[in-house]
Amino acid sequence: MNSLTGMKKVLLVSLFTISSLYAYSQAFEGMVKDAKTNLPLPYVNVGIVGKSVGTVTDSTGHYKLTLTGHDADSLKLSMVGYRALVYQISDFTKDTQAHKTLLLQPTVTQLKEVKVNNHKWKEVILGNTTQSKSGNAGFRDNRLGYEIGAIIKIKKSPTFLKQFNANIASDITDSVKLRLNFYSVKDGMPYQLLQNQNIFVIVAKGQQKINVNLEPYSVYVDDKFYVGLEWIQNAKGQGVMFSASLFSGSIISRETSQAKWEKEGIAGIGFNVLAEY
């Protein structure tokens, strides 16, 4: 065999290997829809359970996610108001066409019944009210599904959440869309969502404070709870930073959708709620 023929064979083998590796590591793309209406579902959490691999569907319901090397793990799709969908990744990746469009079944969530007999409500601010500009924590980039927040203690059950507040410690160069989430707490970490619908928050360029009216969402809590803001839409600039203060609790966050919750340092983020109990 002459050297030219040998070079051609090596080149062909190399190209085949590169092509195979590229195909194997390609991201899975598709759409998430409502199983009853067949309409696209925006801002659905899509990710590998317990791992820092995840995303959020865009405003048209599309997602894109690389699953290479995670055959033994589980892929989970979830959003308030819908039944979560879980796949074994080894099964999910066998037939990409079969999973091009994923359907979530809507659920009927009943509001919690709160009994109050001649109860005189008291108003209180719960959480961290810092307005510091020097101490800060928040979103440093556009990582979809990243969520950051804190656990807040209540004074008495039941407690009705009326308004969420946060102070912004950085200049915002472009408007961003976030999702406000409230969770019950188990073993010191966020556990189950407490609200029965999405609470979206638009933060405009130059905005200094976030104030969200919670009364339409009827969020009642019986014990300490977690409040977090989640990054759900790509934007220009370098994220959003919030006021924070030392020795005021722990920041709890997760890197992306379905990732493991983690405690960060000894600083507390400036999230608080106006409440009644």
| Cα(201)–Cα(219) distance, integer angstroms | 16
Q: Is the pLDDT of residue 122 over 50?
A: yes
pLDDT tens string 54-103: 999 999 999 999 999 999 999 999 999 999 999 999 999 887 666 689 99
The type of residue at 146 is Y
What local confidence, expressed as pLDDT, does residue 273 receive?
Answer: 98
Can you tell me which residue has the tokens 């509001």?
A: 111
Cα–Cα dist 15/30, whole Å: 28
The pLDDT score that the predictor gives to residue 114 is: 62
Confirm if 231 and 201 have CB atoms less than 8 A apart: no
Summarize pLDDT for 33-64 with one digit per residue, the tens.
999 999 999 999 999 999 999 999 999 999 99
Residue in this structure with the two tokens 């989970």, named with its chain if needed: 76
Reported residue count of the chain is 277
Domains in the chain: boundaries: 27-104, 123-276
List, in sequence order, every residue forming a beta bridge with 262; answer none if it has no partner.
253
CB 148 within 8 A of CB 137: yes
Measure Cα distances from 229 to 109, 116, 138, 162, 203 in Å: 22, 30, 9, 17, 11
SS3 168: strand
Name the fold adopted by 27-104: Immunoglobulin-like (2.60.40)
The per-residue pLDDT for range 232-271, each reduced to its tens digit, is 998 887 789 999 999 888 999 999 999 999 998 888 999 9
Strands 159-167 and 220-221, by their bridges, are antiparallel
Number of helices (H), then strands (E), belonging to the chain: the values are 2, 22
Q: What is the pLDDT of residue 221?
A: 98
Kindly indicate whether the domain formed by 123-276 is annotated with CATH number 3.10.450.
Answer: no
How far lies 42's CA from each of 34, 104, 232, 254, in Å?
Answer: 10, 12, 9, 20
